[in-house]
Amino acid sequence: MKTNQDTAEPILAVENVSKSYSGTDEASLVLRSVNLTVAKSEFISIIGPSGCGKTTLMKICAGLLSQTSGVVTFAGKAGTPPPRKMGVVFQSAALLPWRTVMANILLPATIQKANMTKAKERARELLDMLNLVGVESKYPWELSGGMQQRVSIARSLVLEPEVLFMDEPFGALDAMTREKLNLDLQAIHARTGATIMFVTHNIAEAVFLSDRIVAMAARPGRVADVIDVTLDRPRTQDSYVDEDFREIETRVRNSFDRAAAS
């Protein structure tokens, strides 16, 4: 059977990656021999029990942390994506309180000394895509948590990254805001064609957004299962109650439970 991964060119590959924060013995391993290939424009989610190493794996892929052994390959070359080609979004929006929304969104372009005319044009497009028009001159503390996270997403996209790493970006938001942001993120993914690696604890969210879901097991962290999400796009709020959606959700839940018990 052809999977989503087989049909597109790989952009990111994790080969035999292990990680220990201390010591070299087997017991100190947080990740053990993780292998994973992410296709260009793929939306891949990582789920697993708390402490299984999801954030560690994502940080290694983003080059924010080094692996103890193994190789990460980006676009066929050993190494992680260059900062200019990737964006990162964490659970906390981490905006600079003394900069306006627009200045926060433009921050990566300022740091990277990118073409500011182009960056401003892109920022305006993102304000529109993320329903932020009208708040560009406000300061982060004047916005709701959901709006702040939208700004953080816009900031991560301003340099048109090829890869976006998102670590529980909606974890602190209420259910309604989260569903709305899932719809917006799906639209952004379709429009930009960015490859997205997304860590979440929420199984329905993973099914809604993903092309593939990686279920990890803990102690040491490892890939326990990979589930293809073969649902048509775009998915809508009605998708959550579709029979096919529920079936995949159950499969992912079973994988999660098996991984948590192993």
Q: Determine the interface stretch with ligand ATP among 46-54, 68-76, 125-133, 144-152 (rule: CB under 6 A).
A: 46-54
Q: Does 51 bind ligand ATP (CB under 6 A)?
A: yes
C-beta of 225: minimal distance to ligand ATP in Å? 15
Q: Determine the interface stretch with ligand ATP among 3-11, 54-62, 119-127, 136-144 (rule: CB under 6 A).
A: 54-62
Q: Determine the interface stretch with ligand ATP among 7-15, 50-58, 149-157, 248-256 (rule: CB under 6 A).
A: 50-58
Q: Does 98 bind ligand ATP (CB under 6 A)?
A: no
Q: Does 53 bind ligand ATP (CB under 6 A)?
A: yes
Q: Which is nearer to ligand ATP, 167 or 249 (CB)?
A: 167
Q: Does 56 bind ligand ATP (CB under 6 A)?
A: yes
Q: Does 32 bind ligand ATP (CB under 6 A)?
A: no
C-beta of 69: minimal distance to ligand ATP in Å? 16
Q: Does 234 bind ligand ATP (CB under 6 A)?
A: no
Q: Does 50 bind ligand ATP (CB under 6 A)?
A: yes
C-beta of 16: minimal distance to ligand ATP in Å? 18
Q: Does 24 bind ligand ATP (CB under 6 A)?
A: no
Q: Determine the interface stretch with ligand ATP among 34-42, 43-51, 98-106, 108-116 (rule: CB under 6 A).
A: 43-51
Q: Does 54 bind ligand ATP (CB under 6 A)?
A: yes
Q: Which three-class secondary structure string do you get for the chain?
A: CCCHHHHCCEEEEEEEEEEECCCCCHHHEEEEEEEEEEECCCEEEEECCCCCCHHHHHHHHHCCCCCCEEEEEECCEECCCCHHHEEEECCCCCCCCCCCHHHHHCHHHHHCCCCHHHHHHHHHHHHHHCCCCCCCCCCHHHCCHHHHHHHHHHHHHCCCCCEEEEECCCCCCCHHHHHHHHHHHHHHHHHHCCEEEEECCCHHHHHHHCCEEEEEECCCEEEEEEEECCCCCCCCHHHHHCHHHHHHHHHHHHHHHHHHHC
**Burial class for 184, CB neighbours closer than 10 Å (0-12, 13-18, 19+):** middle
Whole-angstrom distance, CA of residue 82 vs CA of residue 62? 9
| Contacts with ligand ATP, residue ranges (CB under 6 A) | 21, 30, 48, 50-56
